[in-house]
Amino acid sequence: MEVCRVLGLISGTSVDAIDAALAELRLTGDVIELAPGGHTEVGYPPDLRDELLAAGSCNPEQMCRLDTRIGQSFANAAATAIRELGQADVIASLGQTVYHWVEDGICRGTLQLGQPAWIAEKTGLPVISDLRARDVAAGGHGAPLAGLFDRLWLQDDVALNIGGIANITLPSDNFDRVGTFPGTRALSDGSERARGHMRNADERARAGYDSGARNQATDDDGSRNQATDNSGGRNQATGDTDPRNRAAFDTGPHNQATDNSDLHNRAMGNTGPHNQATGNTGPRNRAAFDTGPGNALLDAAAEMLTGQRFDKGGALALAGTVRKDLLDLLLEDPYYRLPAPKSTGKEHFNIGYLKAALAQVPEVTGPDLMATLVELTAVTIADACAGHRVVASGGGVRNPALMAALARHLDIVTSDALGIPSDAKEAYLTALLGFLTWHGIAADPRTGADGPRLLGSITPGRDPLRMPAPATTTVRQLRVVATLGGSLARS
């Protein structure tokens, strides 16, 4: 098969920027080779970001305006990426998730904005968009879609993406052994697991960050886990903590779901000569789901304390001490004990949720609050990862405090060490999803859908739509290469 250049576009729950990555992809037998072609990011206009953060209360007029303005912003990002990185054959856009509707553990719908016609008009290229809806219609959660990338790319490692919500992709042998996922039983009593992880909370909260190859991290606007100063105590206001008020954004990435325990061990085979599937008929089938908050509560706390969108360099968290009473309270959230499939998002883990928790404990200083939230993210991720090496990506890897906490609980590396930039992985995931659809290959990200589906809708570009002949083989592996035909970054 000829090389196909796909530009992937996505904006995660931080709503700070649109990530774009250009990938060269080629299907050879049952292996997709992916050569990273570079990545960039283009920020949203500040007023548009503010509107997006308030999108939950939009009326139809405001929703229409947002869909148009986000589409225009994505079009601008695509044009910028093509100018900087080179021409593409097709564009894939995951858009901007503004709502993810989950009730009683079932995803009922999902809404991504960013009208693809603006992208097609600006670039002249065909655009594949709305990549989550078909998975939801087939019974899945539509998130995290990263499980597809991870299942094909990694072998025995657990893949972790830390966006606003953290999600992982597990090897299925761990999924099978526990029945739901490792963290379900470990957290079933609420705080006991936290006590086990808090052998020395004060030391951990103040611990430094190992910048060696095993624990790489840099600054990431996707993480936005940065703040400056402590403005002191807690805000007593409360929010909606109804456990049914949950949803997921994938982030970067981002973008965020699970595999149905009845489906997770099923081999994915051909669905017809012109509609092949991604799969793995061996023992390495994997399941993907949201573990809980990644950066969501950290960012909310940073903005509440300092007016900044993130805790710069994790400085505030590193200066604090874990408050066990608050951590134990937060770990009582029913979400951590739900079985898979499940997904969550900022509809649940938000500033109102945090303020409600703070109102139930004695006053918490800013640094201690940040240190406790870092530990919450680290503990809930570690509980789900079952002792395997973890390959991390997403904005959270650029928060030194969070990476230090994770390194104390896990054997962790970043995806950079394996050839995929950690701050661009979800954009490369989007490119992969576009490649699959463009070539007639059904995808199953193991979020609970009833089998593989062709994902997305296609908006033609300037020229008549000429798609390649559908693939006739089942895809079983993704191989990241330095260049197509060149040396492998990871076999």
| Whether the predicted pLDDT of 29 surpasses 50 | yes
Contact 246, 292 (CB under 8 A): no
Burial class (CB in 10 A: 0-12, 13-18, 19+), 59: exposed
**Closest Cα partner for 154 from 441, 371, 415?**
415
Question: pLDDT digits over 122-138, tens only?
Answer: 999 999 999 999 999 99
| Whether the predicted pLDDT of 295 surpasses 90 | yes
Higher pLDDT, 183 or 248: 183
| Whether the predicted pLDDT of 239 surpasses 70 | no
Give domain 4-480's CATH architecture: 2-Layer Sandwich (3.30)
The gap between the terminal CA atoms of the chain, to the nearest Å, is 20
Distance, in Å, from the CA atom of 362 to the CA atom of 380, rounded to the nearest integer, reads 23
Percent of the chain exceeding pLDDT 90 equals 55
| Whether the predicted pLDDT of 252 surpasses 60 | no
- The token pair at 266 is 């099923």
Question: pLDDT digits over 332-341, tens only?
Answer: 999 999 886 6
- The token pair at 151 is 């299942």
Question: pLDDT digits over 97-128, tens only?
Answer: 988 888 888 899 999 999 999 999 999 999 99
Question: pLDDT digits over 302-316, tens only?
Answer: 999 999 889 999 999
Confidence at residue 341, expressed as pLDDT on a 0 to 100 scale: 67
Place of tokens 């949201």: 290
- Each domain of the chain, given as residue ranges in start order, spans 4-480
Confidence at residue 388, expressed as pLDDT on a 0 to 100 scale: 84
- Dihedral sign (CA 474, 389, 40, 20): positive
Question: pLDDT digits over 428-452, tens only?
Answer: 999 999 999 999 999 988 888 899 9
Confidence at residue 221, expressed as pLDDT on a 0 to 100 scale: 38
Confidence at residue 277, expressed as pLDDT on a 0 to 100 scale: 65
Q: Which residues are paired to 251 by β-bridges?
A: 254
Question: pLDDT digits over 344-399, tens only?
Answer: 888 899 999 999 999 999 999 999 999 999 999 999 999 988 778 999 998 899 99
CA 260 vs. chain centroid, Å, equals 19
Phi, psi torsion values for 227, nearest 5 degrees: -150, 180
Q: What is the mean pLDDT of residues 191-199?
A: 43
